[in-house]
Amino acid sequence: MKSYLNYIISGLILFFAPIQGLLIAVAFGIALDTFTGIFKSVKLNGWCSIRSRKLSNVVSKMLLYQVCIALLFVIDFYALNEFVIHSFGIKFMFTKLVSILLIFIELVSIKENIEEALNIKVWDLLKTLFNRAKEIKTDINEITK
């Protein structure tokens, strides 16, 4: 009986192996969002603002996102994959799109946490950085001429 359970678990791990990178990337996004959320909370309200009830939402979010990706992978694998490969040439396209969407949602939340905690505007900072890079590039081009 125990060996059958090992075979089933091994089979499931091997079945979901093609999306392990997507699962890890989404989990990393959630972890980074949680870290920046804790940083913001401590920065604005102190350590007393950390509550286990709020942190328990991380577990449900992680489980929900991972199950969503896994179930979409199953649908992709059995129903959509042949059509998508024939039309677009991309394996598991819908699984990848949803993973990118979930990571984007986490990145927006990370940006909001950083802006509130440090009282800066990330987009303005990036614009300034790109404008400065353009200036440096033109300076280098003028020097090399």
Burial class (CB within 10 angstroms; exposed 0-12, middle 13-18, buried 19+) of 53: exposed
Residue 145 has pLDDT above 80, yes or no: no
Mean pLDDT of 26-49: 91
In 10 A of CB 41, how many CB atoms?
A: 19
Task: Give the global pTM.
Answer: 0.83
- Two structure tokens written together for 58: 């991380």
- Two structure tokens written together for 83: 């059509």
Residue 133 has pLDDT above 80, yes or no: yes
68-109 confidence digits (pLDDT tens): 999 999 999 999 888 899 999 999 999 999 999 999 999 999
Residue 141 has pLDDT above 70, yes or no: yes
Mean pLDDT of 11-36: 96
Average pLDDT, the chain: 91
- Two structure tokens written together for 70: 């896994």
Give residues with Cβ within 8 angstroms of 122, minimum separation 6.
111, 114, 115
CA 135 to chain CA centroid, nearest Å? 33
Note the pLDDT of residue 1. Answer: 66
Provide the pLDDT confidence category of residue 54 given band limits of 50, 70 and 90.
Answer: confident
Residue 50 has pLDDT above 90, yes or no: no
Residue 58 has pLDDT above 70, yes or no: yes
